[in-house]
Amino acid sequence: MPGMDEETAELIQSVRRDPQRKALVSHLADGPKAVKSGSDTAANADTEALLAELVDEGIVERDGEAYALTDFGERVHEYATREWNPSNEGTKRAATFDTLADCEWHCSACELPSSQPAKDIQMLRKEGFEFVQNTGQGQGDYRHCENCEDTTFHRKLKYPFPTQKSITRQEMPASFKRRVRDLYGGRDAFDGSSPSTTLEVDHRVPEVRWEESENYDYESMSDEEVREHFQILTRTHNLLKSRKCEACVESGERPPFMQIEYYYEGGQKYEEEVGCVGCGWYNPHEWRASLQAELDG
pLDDT in tens, 12-27: 999 999 999 999 999 9
Phi, psi of 227 (to 5 degrees): -65, -30
Burial 268-279 (b: 16+ CB within 10 A, else e): bebeeeeebbbb
Cα R_g (the chain), whole angstroms? 25
Q: What pLDDT score was predicted for residue 194?
A: 94
Phi, psi of 134 (to 5 degrees): -115, 125
**Average pLDDT score over residue span 71-99:** 93
* Pair 159, 193: CB distance under 8 Å: no
Residue 82: Cβ within 10 Å count: 11
Q: What pLDDT score was predicted for residue 136?
A: 47
Distance CA 146, CA 173 (A): 50
DSSP letter assigned to residue 134? B
Distance CA 159, CA 131 (A): 8
Distance CA 122, CA 117 (A): 9
* Pair 200, 238: CB distance under 8 Å: yes
Check residues 29 and 42 and name the one with the higher pLDDT: 29
53: part of which helix (H) or strand (E)?
Answer: helix 45-56
In DSSP terms, which residues pair with 142 in a beta bridge? 153
* Chain CA centroid to CA 145, Å: 23
Phi, psi of 144 (to 5 degrees): -80, 130
In the chain, the amino acid numbered 7 is: E
Q: What pLDDT score was predicted for residue 291?
A: 95
Q: Lay out the sheet containing 141-145: strands in order across.
A: 106-107, 150-155, 141-145
Check residues 136 and 201 and name the one with the higher pLDDT: 201
Phi, psi of 247 (to 5 degrees): -65, -35
Q: What pLDDT score was predicted for residue 259?
A: 92
**Average pLDDT score over residue span 96-106:** 94
* Pair 15, 28: CB distance under 8 Å: no
**Average pLDDT score over residue span 44-71:** 90
pTM: 0.66
Q: What would the pLDDT profile of 239-269 be if each residue is shown by its tens digit?
A: 999 989 988 887 889 999 999 999 999 999 9
Q: What would the pLDDT profile of 151-166 be if each residue is shown by its tens digit?
A: 988 999 999 999 988 8
- Give the N- to C-terminal CA distance of the chain in Å, as an integer: 56
